[in-house]
Structure 1
């Protein structure tokens, strides 16, 4: 019985350690700043130049997500003014490299995309929720960074 309890404690500690190591640091400072946008904002889209990529394998952190990202979010978006029937928020990226997008929404859920936008660009389209979004733009080579433009829009995506 003692060995069974000890085994369960060791397994539980290993699981806790694995979960703590796999969490992105959503509260850390961003790599490229913060945006405060409200429904109906202008000019639309809001564009931000950045370097996509990092050394964290997104597939190791989020099931079904691809690309390499940084620990800290690239951009933090504060969204307000959502109402029933409001247009979706389209978060997309454009680059000469193959990029990916990962978003942590105000609901605590993780969203990711690789090639759903035009010309196989990544786009995450979400029903607008008031609150804070963390956004990462990834690349396909570990440690490699590539120039990219992040777009946040109610009307268009890349």
Structure 2
């Protein structure tokens, strides 16, 4: 069964959302593990669009979209197990739209936070200690920070400058 499922997932002729949905429902039906089937199924539903090139940098949280109607998801999954594929695809399509809407709202919130920080940092007149610059963290598209890095740049006694 799992070999057929893998072949189905890798079939480029099946649209990504349909492939992710049906493979998720089939995986949940096969239930190959004693624990973790739900987490595994949700993980690959989120990973498939990126794997297939539908998204580039983000995973769309379809499972978060499904949380808006858990009962509808369970009903659609039950219907799938009786041969009704349309219900589960419709549930995932609706969840995907909710997830995209949520992702856009989150991106907007993040951009507003960034703009607020940029405004606050521009208004700051006193120089910051060392080479540390909050602006450099705010302006990065993928800021990476660590405790040693933060300590080094905020410690006036640090010998590395």
Q: One fold, TM greater than 0.5? A: no
Structure with bigger strand share is 1
TM-score bracket relative to the smaller structure: under 0.3
Normalised by the size of structure 2, how large is the TM-score?
A: 0.22
Bigger CA radius of gyration: 2
Normalised by the size of structure 1, how large is the TM-score?
A: 0.22
Structure with bigger helix share is 2
| Greater length-normalized contact order (CA 8 Å, ≥ 6 residues apart) | 1
